[in-house]
Structure formats: C-alpha cells, structure tokens
C-alpha cells in the first residue's frame, strides 16, 4: 500500500498501440486517493476509462445504478456511460484510472480481445487477473523512464486490456489462435532440424521427401536461402558436432568418428583437417576440457 500512497497524474499523453487492427490511445493515466466526490459525468464516443480500486471504500453509480466499492473493485466506463464516485469518510478509496480513446473498431473476429473490450461499454466486478501489479508497473515505467520504457508501457497497456477482457469472460477459452506457419517457413524449420538432429543419416533424397520437393528443387532452395549445397550443409553439421564432441576428453577420436557416421578414424581425421585446417588431436589440445560433473 505504501507504494501507492502519493497521488500521481500523467496528463496530455498520447501513447499509441495497436491490437488486432484497432488503434488505442492512452491520453491520461492517474492514481488518486479520493477526498472528494466526483459528480455524475460521461465520456465521448470511443472513450473508455478503466478504474481499479487497490484499497479503500466508497460508492459509485453507473447509469444511475449504485454499487459499493471495496479493495480490488474493477469497473469500466465506456462511451456515454454516466458515472459518479463518492469516497467513504473513514477509509476513502484510492483509484488507478486509465483513459483510452479507440477511434476505429477492431476488424475481423468479434471475439477478439480488442472487439470484446470495445463492445463492453460498462462493467463492474472484482478483479481476478492481478491488475494491481500491472498498474503499479505502468507508473514505475512512466516515473523512471529507463531505456525502452515506451515499449514497456505500450506492452503493459495491452496486458491491461487483455486482463480486463479476461475479467469479463472468466476462464473462457480463446477462439482466436496463432496462424499456422506458411509452407516456406515450415520448410526452413524442416531443413534446420534435419541437419541439427539427423545429420548422420540425412540424404538429399530424404530431405527432399520431407520437404515435398524434388532433389533439384531442394538443392536450389539450399543454395538460395543458405548459400550452400546439400553436401556443404551436411559437412557443416557433422563438423559442428565433431568440434563439440572433441571438447569432452572421455570420447576418443575413434569413437567420435564412429558416432558421426564416418567409415574410419582416418576418414574422419582427413575431413576434420580439411574443414578446420587443424587435426582433430590438435583441436582437442587447444579447446578440450574435462567433462563437468
């Protein structure tokens, strides 16, 4: 409670962020301990106030309906919603308030977070999403203005709106999900994981089959996006694994050669020297280490 003691006001802000095609502008963010009543008033079209009561008591009216305010009360007043506030005399309420303008409606799914927030001009209840921590962090960022604070505040405001909608809906599962990766993006992942985990057995034909491409198309894809042929990519993967294994002195060079799929230690040693321009034994002396326990 001590961290919330002093009233603080950030007026004339123009913090802009976008959610699901809808623009939001935070014009005022305040924290106030009320010693006075606020008479009935309302806001313009596309204007929303988020009110969070961290402590204290009082009464509010929303469209002429009375509500009792206690710690962790949360309510929103959207366009044209008449509301007033009266603090209790002994333990007057304190309030975080975020004033938002959102001039354009969210596009697409009406169940998206932005659309649900915009379509809920009035709500009253108890916070279930720990919004106090988000509110306090917003003020910390605005107060100190450390590097990246603008990004932090924009992100926290988005989290605040998500928290509001989760308060509205409870534990309802989302109907909006991440889009599936494009075929091209999936191909990159297939290529990279094939060389990372399956470099011993992978062949150009196997890789082409996984990609659903011909061997020639696969070679073109590797050259275009990685600047290497299949043979070069496979050699790179094997040599990367070899350099890692050589750091562990409990693995003999013969065993490493076998693990990497070479027909003999001599074949492996030749390939290693050709790639790194140093023998496997010399490399081990330079960078080798005992295994950690």
Please write the tens of the pLDDT for every residue from 214-243. Answer: 999 999 999 999 999 999 999 999 999 999
CATH number for the domain harbouring residue 18: 2.60.120.280
Q: State the pTM of this model.
A: 0.69
Same domain, 190 and 127: no
Structure tokens at 74: 């949360």
Structure tokens at 12: 């004339």
Residue 244's SS3 state is helix
Same domain, 94 and 165: yes
Distance CA(132)–CA(272), nearest Å, equals 59
The proportion of the chain whose per-residue pLDDT surpasses 70, expressed as a percent, equals: 94
Q: What is the DSSP letter of 247?
A: T
Identify the bridge partners of residue 29 per DSSP, sorted by sequence position: 10, 98
Do the beta carbons of residue 151 and residue 170 sit within 8 Å?
no
The answer to whether residue 52 is domain-embedded is: yes
| pLDDT interval class at 182 (50, 70, 90) | low
Q: Using one digit for the tens of pLDDT, what is the confidence trace for 77-96?
A: 999 999 999 999 999 999 99
Same domain, 117 and 198: no
Identify the bridge partners of residue 57 per DSSP, sorted by sequence position: 92
E strand segments, 102-181: 122-126
Q: Give the mean model confidence (pLDDT) for residues 247-252.
A: 88
Structure tokens at 171: 């534990």
Q: Give the mean model confidence (pLDDT) for residues 28-43.
A: 92
The answer to whether residue 243 is domain-embedded is: yes
Q: Which of 137, 169, 201 is the last residue of a domain?
A: 169
> Which H or E element spans position 209?
helix 204-211
Same domain, 151 and 7: yes
Q: Is the pLDDT of residue 99 over 50?
A: yes
Q: Give the mean model confidence (pLDDT) for residues 93-118.
A: 91
In this prediction, residue 292 carries a pLDDT of 42
Strands 83-87 and 15-19, bridge-based pairing: unpaired
Cβ of 271: how many Cβ atoms within 10 Å? 18
The answer to whether residue 111 is domain-embedded is: yes
Same domain, 111 and 197: no
Distance CA(204)–CA(192), nearest Å, equals 13
The answer to whether residue 174 is domain-embedded is: no
Strands 22-33 and 65-69, bridge-based pairing: unpaired
Same domain, 160 and 279: no
| pLDDT interval class at 293 (50, 70, 90) | very low
Distance CA(206)–CA(132), nearest Å, equals 54
In our burial notation (b when 16+ CB lie closer than 10 A, e otherwise), range 80-113 reads: ebebebbbeeeebbbbbbbbbbbeeebeeeeebb
Distance CA(157)–CA(16), nearest Å, equals 10
Same domain, 44 and 154: yes
In this prediction, residue 290 carries a pLDDT of 41
**Total structural domains in the chain?**
2
Q: Give the mean model confidence (pLDDT) for residues 26-49.
A: 93
Same domain, 32 and 147: yes
Same domain, 191 and 59: no
Do the beta carbons of residue 24 and residue 157 sit within 8 Å?
yes
Q: Domain span at residue 201?
A: 183-287
Distance CA(182)–CA(188), nearest Å, equals 10
The answer to whether residue 58 is domain-embedded is: yes
Q: Which of 169, 192, 213 is the last residue of a domain?
A: 169
Same domain, 104 and 232: no
The answer to whether residue 65 is domain-embedded is: yes
The answer to whether residue 175 is domain-embedded is: no
| pLDDT interval class at 109 (50, 70, 90) | confident
Identify the bridge partners of residue 231 per DSSP, sorted by sequence position: none
Higher pLDDT, 152 or 178: 152
Same domain, 164 and 188: no
Q: Which of 117, 139, 169 is the last residue of a domain?
A: 169
Same domain, 207 and 283: yes
Q: Using one digit for the tens of pLDDT, what is the confidence trace for 38-90?
A: 999 999 999 999 999 999 999 999 999 999 999 999 999 999 999 999 999 99
Q: Is the pLDDT of residue 1 over 70?
A: no
Q: Using one digit for the tens of pLDDT, what is the confidence trace for 121-168?
A: 999 999 999 999 999 999 999 999 999 999 999 999 999 999 999 999
Identify the bridge partners of residue 16 per DSSP, sorted by sequence position: 25
CATH number for the domain harbouring residue 248: 1.10.10.60
Nearest CA among 122, 31, 120 for reference residue 83: 122
The answer to whether residue 177 is domain-embedded is: no
E strand segments, the chain: 8-10, 15-19, 22-33, 38-41, 47-53, 58-62, 65-69, 73-77, 83-87, 94-101, 122-126
Do the beta carbons of residue 10 and residue 148 sit within 8 Å?
no
| pLDDT interval class at 5 (50, 70, 90) | low
């Amino acid at each position: 409670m001590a961290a919330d003691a002093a009233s603080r006001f950030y007026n004339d802000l123009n913090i802009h962020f976008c959610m699901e095609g809808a623009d939001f502008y935070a014009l005022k963010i305040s924290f106030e301990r009320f010693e006075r009543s606020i008479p009935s008033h309302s806001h313009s079209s596309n204007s929303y106030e988020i009110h969070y009561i961290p402590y204290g008591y009082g009464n509010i009216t929303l469209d002429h309906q009375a509500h009792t305010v206690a710690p962790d009360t949360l309510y929103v007043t959207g366009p044209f919603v008449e509301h007033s506030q009266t603090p209790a005399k002994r333990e007057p309420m304190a309030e975080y308030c975020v004033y938002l303008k959102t001039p354009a409606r969210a596009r697409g799914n009406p169940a998206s977070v932005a659309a649900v927030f915009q379509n809920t001009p009035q709500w009253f209840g108890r916070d279930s999403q720990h919004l106090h921590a988000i509110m306090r962090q917003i003020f910390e960022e605005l107060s100190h203005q450390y590097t990246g604070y603008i990004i932090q505040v924009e992100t926290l405001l988005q989290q605040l709106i998500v928290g509001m909608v989760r308060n509205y809906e409870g534990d309802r599962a989302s109907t909006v999900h991440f889009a599936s990766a494009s075929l091209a993006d999936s191909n990159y992942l297939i290529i990279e994981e094939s060389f990372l985990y399956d470099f011993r057995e992978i062949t150009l034909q196997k890789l082409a089959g996984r990609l659903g491409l011909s061997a020639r198309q696969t070679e073109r894809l590797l050259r275009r996006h990685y600047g290497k042929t299949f043979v070069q990519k496979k050699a790179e993967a094997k040599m990367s694994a070899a350099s890692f294994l050589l750091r562990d002195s409990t693995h003999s060079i013969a065993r490493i050669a076998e693990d990497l799929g070479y027909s003999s230690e001599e074949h492996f040693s030749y390939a290693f020297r050709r790639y790194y321009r140093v023998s496997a034994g010399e490399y081990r002396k330079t960078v080798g280490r005992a295994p950690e326990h």
